[in-house]
């Protein structure tokens, strides 16, 4: 069952990229902070590399000024995520999370089957905003779309939430 607004982020393990690869529980990553997590179907794929990740890099300061940690996640291994982050010049303050086996993605109920495209099981494209591990905004994309999970759409949703 997919996570819903008001739901608690499930506890799972992911690999976070810092100076090395650091296994971290999602419970500890989300605890006590505001987090904007966006997920992409795959590192180095066209929409993810040309629009999704670059939009968050461009607007990273806008999120940080609101006290929000931004994290990008994909069902890719940590080495692929590191290479992608390096190729995209991702600042270290934008957390890159590798969900190599898709366990966290499945726990969120946000998996998709990309087998028809040779990609296997992946995260569907989505963005969520959570405070202390509780989802306040959830924007899953329809298959093949990129609209509601963009950095701009999430900034607008955050501004609307304040109203």
* 11 φ, ψ (degrees, to nearest 5): -85, 130
The number of residues making up the chain comes to: 163
What secondary structure letter does DSSP report for 10?
A: P
Contact 34, 66 (CB under 8 A): yes
Torsion-angle region of residue 46: left (phi > 0), alpha (psi -120 to 50) or beta? Answer: alpha
Residue 106: active-site member: no
Contact 128, 154 (CB under 8 A): no
Cα–Cα distance, 109 to 2 (Å, whole number): 4
One of 9, 14, 36, 48 is an active-site residue; which one?
48
What secondary structure letter does DSSP report for 159?
A: H
- The set of catalytic residues is 48
């Amino acid at each position: 069952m997919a996570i819903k607004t008001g739901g608690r982020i499930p506890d799972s393990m992911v690999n976070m990229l810092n100076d090395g690869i650091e296994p971290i529980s999602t419970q500890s990553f989300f605890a006590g902070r505001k987090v904007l997590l966006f997920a992409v179907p795959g590192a180095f794929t066209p929409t993810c590399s040309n629009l999704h990740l670059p939009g968050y890099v461009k607007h990273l300061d806008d999120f940080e000024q609101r006290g929000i940690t931004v994290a990008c996640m994909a069902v890719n291994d940590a080495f692929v995520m590191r290479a992608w982050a390096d190729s995209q010049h991702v600042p270290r303050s934008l957390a890159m999370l590798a969900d190599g086996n898709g366990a966290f993605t499945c726990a969120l109920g946000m998996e998709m089957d990309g087998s028809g495209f040779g990609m296997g099981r992946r995260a569907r494209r989505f963005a969520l905003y959570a405070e202390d591990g509780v989802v306040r905004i959830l924007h899953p994309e329809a298959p093949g779309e990129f609209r509601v999970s963009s950095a701009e759409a999430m900034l607008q949703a955050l501004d609307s939430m304040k109203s």
